[in-house]
Structure 1
């Protein structure tokens, strides 16, 4: 059975983007040889990439024409992709399907393939998948920068979410990769 792993990069103060949509300048503070190697490793093990609509639109605009990281662009373009959206019905980026019932779709797909399923970015989607008990692992890259404001990765909840630490790893840029398993909510 496939594991569902949520992967994102946040600032030290918890923002996954700045005040404007797709303001991802904090990625520059963590990107380096170690994060590139991790990205290539993800490309070797991923069976499906999952995005919310907004993240999909940004990724679909960037990766088909990227020439800076051709190895990463290759897997980003070739791997099967799934978009969770109630407004989109079709997707133009190759190997992409759209669903308006992401929970049902992921429950089905995780049993049909044992390769990892990665949810990239997509904070609102990750939040709903956490609530549904579908995230097996949170993998968070913490960039060594404080933004001061922006869009928080973790949304406000009235209930606590407990996590079990799986790994911490400092990388060459001074960033940290944190891996946690969410506790199963009863």
Structure 2
């Protein structure tokens, strides 16, 4: 059975915004490897539209290997987008979800293959509330943003997690790997 891995960036004050953080070479390499070891990535509309930026680096590489490698990884991984407003994705490797989130994820988990990566705050919150997250990877950036969306502001019930491991970057960012404790 495939695992659902929720991977997200957050500041020390809990702000979860893809436009803040310390996106250095180490972090891009980390996420490139994570994507390369995953079979599909799930996005909500807002994050998906932010991620479309990487298509520009496919057409015109930046010359920065770590940026271009990440662009290639994000371009090739299949993406499923959950949106009530998009009519098409505009990206060859992306499709609109055919079912609601719960049905889609349960069906994906039953398939063989690489893990399911989730990179959108809204989708992560919904999956936590549905008890469908198997691993949580939170990259905490050593900064206070002061404003923006909080990652955990819409969680319904208490969930206990067990720390599996950590990974520290030269920037001071740290990835915490957690697994829910299922009782």
Counterpart residue number, 1:86: 84
Q: Tell me which residue corresponds to 1:63.
A: 54
Deviation at residue 182 of structure 1 after TM alignment: 2.0
Query: How is 1:42-121 mapped onto 2 (pairs within 5 angstroms)?
Result: 42-60=34-52, 62-66=53-57, 67-68=61-62, 69-99=67-97, 100-120=99-119
Calculate the TM-score normalised by the size of structure 2.
0.87
| CA distance, structure 2, for counterparts of residue 48 and residue 165 of structure 1 | 24
Residue of structure 1 aligned with 2:32, choices 30, 37, 40 = 40
How far is 1:49 from its partner? Answer: 0.9
| Structure 1 unpaired stretches of 5+ | none
Q: Distance in 1 between matches of 2:122 and 2:180?
A: 16
156 and 95 in structure 1: CA distance in 2 versus 1, 3 angstrom threshold:
closer
1:158 Cα deviation after fit:
5.2
Superposition CA RMSD, Å: 1.7
Using the TM superposition, name which of 88-97 and 135-144 deviates more: 88-97
Does residue 166 of structure 2 align to residue 174 of structure 1? no
SS of residue matched to 1:152:
coil
SS at match of 2:16: strand
Q: How many Å separate the matches in 2 of 1:10 and 1:45?
A: 22
Aligned to 1:9: 9
In 2, Cα distance between the equivalents of 1:158 and 1:77?
34
Q: Secondary structure at the match of 1:139?
A: strand
Once residues 142 and 12 of structure 1 are traced to their aligned partners in structure 2, the CA distance between those partners, rounded to angstroms, is 6
The answer to whether the 8 A contact 2:129-2:157 is kept is: no
Kept in 2: contact 1:33–1:172 (CA 8 A): no
2:129·2:155 contact (CA, 8 Å) conserved in 1?
A: no
User: Which structure 2 residue ranges, 5 or more long, are not aligned?
Assistant: none
Q: What is the number of residues matched between the two proteins?
A: 175
| CA distance in structure 2 between the aligned counterparts of 1:118 and 1:52, rounded to whole angstroms | 12
- Deviation of the 1:138 alpha carbon: 0.9
TM-score normalised to structure 1 length: 0.86
**Secondary structure at 1:133 match in 2:** coil
Q: Secondary structure at the match of 1:87?
A: coil
Deviations 1:89-144 (A, max 9, x none): 42111111112512111111122232011111x21211111111111111011001
**In structure 2, distance between residues paired with 1:14 and 1:135:** 19
